[in-house]
Each structure stands twice: as structure tokens, then as C-alpha cells.
Amino acid sequence: MTTSGAIQKRSLGHTGIEVTPIGLGVMQFSGSRGIFRLMMRDLSQEQMNVIVKTALESGINWFDTAEMYGSGRSEQGLANALKAAGKQDDEVVVATKWSPLLRTAANIPQTIDDRIRFLSGYTIDLYMVHQPWGFSSPEAEMDAMADLVKAGKIRSVGVSNFNAEQMRRAHAALAKRGLPLAVNQVQYNLLHRKIETNGVLEAAKELGVTIVAWSPLASGLLTGKFHKNLEMLSQAPFGRRMRLRRSIQRSRPLVEALEELAAEYDATPAQVALSWLVNAHGETVVAIPGASKAHHAEQSAGAMKLRLSDLHTAKLDVLSRAFRS
């Protein structure tokens, strides 16, 4: 594998909170509870402990969860796993999200103590509005978030799945309170590059906002495992299976290129895809692949040691341009 030396951390926006280019998303820790029940299978606490321990030992220093992931089950599972690994609060970075569904900004201060309780002593380093679906404006939501920062209950503020205009409004509202907008967490991968054409990536670069890429491996498509063995689709949870089936043939040329580069770099196709994602735009993009097994976390972390050549970065860019719209 062609390595880039020691893992260099990146600041979440202008907050000074430093994270590794690859974090660990723990939506899987919600199991079969809540709105993701058709997409997830239950993990035991012991399994969560092993996944988190492996991620930490592989160099990952931050974790992304949310209220929506099992109404606290993911948050609590993460906190338990960090404790089992012997990690102190100041040794890790934890991000979670407030669910705006059928709520107003007034709910933000009302539910923050639940987030703190489930995280059981681990600071909320980054708190995000999960979707732009609330009954309040971005300005009202950011004002409530800023109050939490001032009260010392969270360290920084972000948004998730906001479009360019909504992100700019959130940024401006926080600026009035003397705070930066840390991140916009959005879907971004080689098979979903819409943020490059809809203004989100451009605005993030302009404002100094970090893009946190969720589903960075396109629900496993970019690993190549489903292309090699279509029968594996039957093992995937129902909701995920339907999405994967629609995308297999269209993504085949790109996945074949990932496999060729993986052989050249002594890496995996997933590592090649992740390396492209977190390096193609300088330090603007970080990623949060999930893991249902420990080796998933270890392999994802390995992408931080891989640096593609300019030629290979450009090759993947060309092969995936059809996925920009």
C-alpha cells in the first residue's frame, strides 16, 4: 500500500476540534429499533465493544451517532463501548444529532439532557440538526444550538442534509452569535456526487465548513462484494437490498476500476474509494463509514494510510462523473 505517513487530523470547520479523516458512524448500533429497523440487524453490546475498540486501535478518534438511531440506543451503546475500551472523555470526539421531525427549535433545549444522559459522561463535541424538516427556521434552530454552546452543554454546532441555501442561512445565524458552522453532513460517495453540482460543496469550501460524508461506500456497493456475488443481496436487510439491486449494473465499470487500483496499491476497493473521497478536495471532506463487524472498521481506517496518485484520482473522477447529477 502507498501510504501518506502519519495520520494527520483535520479541524471540523473553524472549530479547532480535530478529527481523523475517517471516523466511525454507529447507526448500526441502533439495531432493529426505530425508523431504521428494516435496514439494521441487532448487535450485542459485546459486538459494539469490539467494533469500537478495533476502530480506536486502527487510528480512528471520532464517532458519529444520533437521537434518531434507536432513540438513544446507539448513543448509549457507543458510550458503553468507549468505556469498555478505557477511553477518557478527552481522548475521543463524539458527534450526535437532534431530530427535528414534527418539532420546533424549542425542543432543542428540552431534549439535550437526554443526549447527555445516554452518552454517559462523554462530551457532545459536535451537535447537529439531523434534517431540514423541522417546524422552525434554520435561524431559530441555530439560535437554540448557540444557547447550548454558551451553556457549556455542547462544543460546536453543525447541520445535516441541508442544501446550499439552508447551510448559508445556518452559517449566517451562528456568525451573529460569534460561532462557526462546523459541518454539513450529507450523502457523498463516488456513486453519489450531487453535492458537487448543487452548490453544497462550493458553499462549504467558501464558508470553511467541513463536509461529513455519510454512506461513503454507497451501502457497500463500492466494496465490490455484491458485484462478485449477487446472492449476497439476499442477506442484506430489506430496505438496503432494494437500493443495492437498482445500482449494481450501472456501477460495475467504476467498481472494476476500484478493484484494479486496489490490486496495484495492495489495498481493498473500499479503501481506494474512501481515500479518493477524503483527499480529492483537500481537507474539506471527512467520512463516517459504518461497521457491523470489527474488520469493517479496521479496513475503513486503513484508507487513511492510502494516498492515490493524481492520475488515479483523476481516473476515478472521470469514471464517476455520471453520478454528479
127 given a catalytic annotation: no
Residue 194 phi, psi dihedral angles, 5° rounding: -65, -25
- Residue pair 287/21 in contact (Cβ under 8 Å)? The answer is yes
The angle subtended at Cα 197 by Cα 173 and Cα 276, nearest 5°, is: 100
For residue 294 the three cell numbers come to 470489527
Nearest to 168 by CA among 159, 136, 177, 195: 159
214/239 Cα distance (integer angstroms):
17
If phi > 0 it is left, if psi is from -120 to 50 it is alpha, else beta; for residue 77 that is alpha
Distance CA 74, CA 82 (A): 12
Going by C-alpha positions, the residue among 279, 23, 25, 236 that lies closest to residue 130 is 25
Q: What is the rounded distance in angstroms from the CA atom of residue 307 to the CA atom of residue 297?
A: 18
Give the angle subtended at the CA of 250 by the CAs of 309 and 23, to the nearest 5°: 50
Asked if 146 and 182 count as a contact pair (C-beta separation under 8 A), the reply is no
Q: How many CB atoms lie within 10 A of CB 246?
A: 9
Cell digits of residue 72: 438513544
**Under 8 Å between Cβ of 145 and 108:** yes
Catalytic residue among 69, 122, 188, 265: 69
- Is the Cβ–Cβ distance between 2 and 307 less than 8 Å? yes
- Report the DSSP pairing between strands 181-187 and 18-19: unpaired
C-alpha 324/C-alpha 305 separation (Å) is 27
Q: What residues act catalytically?
A: 69
